[in-house]
Amino acid sequence: MVSTPTLRIARLRTRIDHPRTGAGEREAAQRMLDRILEKPRPVVSGRSYGARHGRVGRHAGLSRIVDMIREDISLARNVFATTGDPGGLATLDPIGDAPSEIRYEVDAPYDAGIVITVSAVPRIWGWTHDHGMDVVFPALQALADELAEIMNGYNHDGQDITKRFYGKVLVDGQTLVW
């Protein structure tokens, strides 16, 4: 009979907690349980979890993750918006420093994908025209990178697991971060 450690632990706990288990048998089961729990467990290498991965739970759906990303963007935009403190240290916060007319939309249009769409970006703040091409200003790219970092904070990846979701940041229909 094949038995996994989880199954053995459950059976031993049942035996220990059962009212008709004798004292000697209960002590033996407790010693066996202690030995199993003290064994070092193999470390799974090659996995990476985002900083916010644990906030929504292991089995949370994309709709819950989308809601959490929206809340994080709103918090960063409203609470951490920089105020000009004369003589104080300047902090760089791409979301807080972005113009107030910029709009953010977070959506999960397909089963394993999250898209953050940034719209109403002022041309003079986000883009420049260079040799016939629109080029992204560093401030807009930093904003897209910060949004991608928030989004990837809820993701995981590794050699033996797949990504929880694939994400991208769109600005005026152009993908800045994939």
Q: How many domains does the chain have?
A: 2
pLDDT tens string 45-76:
677 777 677 777 667 789 999 999 999 999 88
Pairwise CA distance, residues 169 & 105, whole Å: 10
Same domain, 64 and 34: no
Please determine, for residue 84, whether its predicted confidence score (pLDDT) is greater than 70. Answer: no
- pLDDT of res. 85: 60
Same domain, 63 and 31: no
Same domain, 26 and 111: no
Whole-number Cα distances in Å, 173 to 2, 64, 115: 54, 25, 11
| Residues in CB range of 70: below 8 A, 6 or more apart | 104, 106
Same domain, 66 and 152: yes
Same domain, 77 and 129: yes
Residue 45 lies in a domain: no
Pairwise CA distance, residues 170 & 144, whole Å: 8
Same domain, 27 and 102: no
Residue 16 lies in a domain: yes
Same domain, 30 and 67: no
Same domain, 73 and 159: yes
pLDDT tens string 90-109:
667 899 889 999 999 999 99
Residue 43 lies in a domain: no
- pLDDT of res. 67: 94
Same domain, 23 and 75: no
Pairwise CA distance, residues 58 & 83, whole Å: 37
Residue 127: domain span: 51-177
pLDDT tens string 130-177:
888 888 999 999 999 999 999 988 888 877 788 889 999 999 889 999
Residue 46 lies in a domain: no
At residue 44 the predicted structure's pLDDT band, cuts being 50, 70 and 90, is low
Please determine, for residue 5, whether its predicted confidence score (pLDDT) is greater than 80. Answer: no
Residue 44 lies in a domain: no
Please determine, for residue 41, whether its predicted confidence score (pLDDT) is greater than 60. Answer: yes
Same domain, 117 and 156: yes
Residue 56 lies in a domain: yes
Residue 167 lies in a domain: yes
Please determine, for residue 124, whether its predicted confidence score (pLDDT) is greater than 60. Answer: yes
Same domain, 34 and 55: no
- pLDDT of res. 49: 74
Same domain, 15 and 60: no
Pairwise CA distance, residues 113 & 109, whole Å: 7
